[in-house]
Amino acid sequence: MASKILLALLLLLAAATPASLAAIDVAQMLANKPQYATFLRLLTQTKVAEDVSRLKSASVLVVPERSVKPLLSVPAEKLRTILQHHVLIKYFDPIQLGEMKTSVAKLETMLSNTDKNMGTIDYSKDKDGQMYLRSPGADSVAKLVKVVAARPFVVSIMEISTPLLCPKLLGPGIAAGAGGGRPRGKGKGKIVKTMSAEEGASDTASDVAASAPTASA
């Protein structure tokens, strides 16, 4: 699976032209991809797509039609914040993530400017190379599925298996009804098994999240 993700990325990078690198336009990059139509509509309606266009670099984590339903259950006043939580403020791709010195890291989102604790996503990589992402405090992880589109070192759009729903951002009682994804600690991708190179293995998932270094591009 990991090798397929890398192959897809290399093909996308090879197809990129200098003219296509001028600006970040998520709507244009997803225009001919109906499998992400609902997610794109939500990005546009909440003006998060417009926010992304102002960034110098970004990585957008998108959810396909088959997995987007939990986002439709998010209250309107919370949706913009949740979608900003799906936008990393630096360019990442599977190659860069795979070259990290540790198998766990904190990736900064658009929310990091206002809330350092809630403005990150926990990244981890299994021994087989599969990559996972998790919101702070969430009971499930999302699998990094594939690269959808990329403009080298400017913007990447990557599909994840389920929305990243942060309980503290959603508020009491909402996260349980909107949640999804692989349960934490069951099967591959359990955050508890990863560790920081500086602090060693942690005893709990929360310990790992707290000790993980913030990734830099």
Among candidates 104, 106, 130, which has minimal Cα distance to 187? 130
What is the pLDDT at residue 196? Answer: 29
- Residue 48: band (very low, low, confident or very high) from pLDDT cuts 50, 70, 90: very high
For the entire predicted model, the pTM comes to 0.76
Does 127 reside within a domain?
A: yes
Using a 10 angstrom Cβ sphere, with 0-12 exposed, 13-18 middle and 19 or more buried, the burial of residue 71 is buried
Q: Is the pLDDT of residue 158 over 80?
A: yes
Number of domains in the chain: 1
- pLDDT at position 35 is 98
How confident is residue 72, by pLDDT bands cut at 50, 70 and 90? Answer: very high
| Residue 124, domain CATH | 2.30.180.10
The pLDDT of residue 185: 47
- The answer to whether the beta carbons of residues 202 and 208 sit under 8 Å apart is yes
In this prediction, residue 3 carries a pLDDT of: 58
Burial level of 132, CB count in 10 A (0-12/13-18/19+)? buried
Domain range for 126: 22-170
User: Per the domain annotation, does 44 fall within a domain?
Assistant: yes
The predicted pLDDT at position 115 comes to 78
3 state SS of 79? helix
Coil/strand/helix, residue 72: helix
**Encoding tokens for residue 60?**
């957008």
Q: Is residue 129 part of a domain?
A: yes
Does residue 192 sit within a domain? no
Rounded to whole angstroms, how far apart are CA atoms 99 and 131? 12
User: Looking at the domain assignment, is residue 49 inside a domain?
Assistant: yes
Out of 56-65, 68-77, 99-108, 199-208, pick the least confident: 199-208
With 60 as the cut, is the pLDDT of residue 97 above it? yes
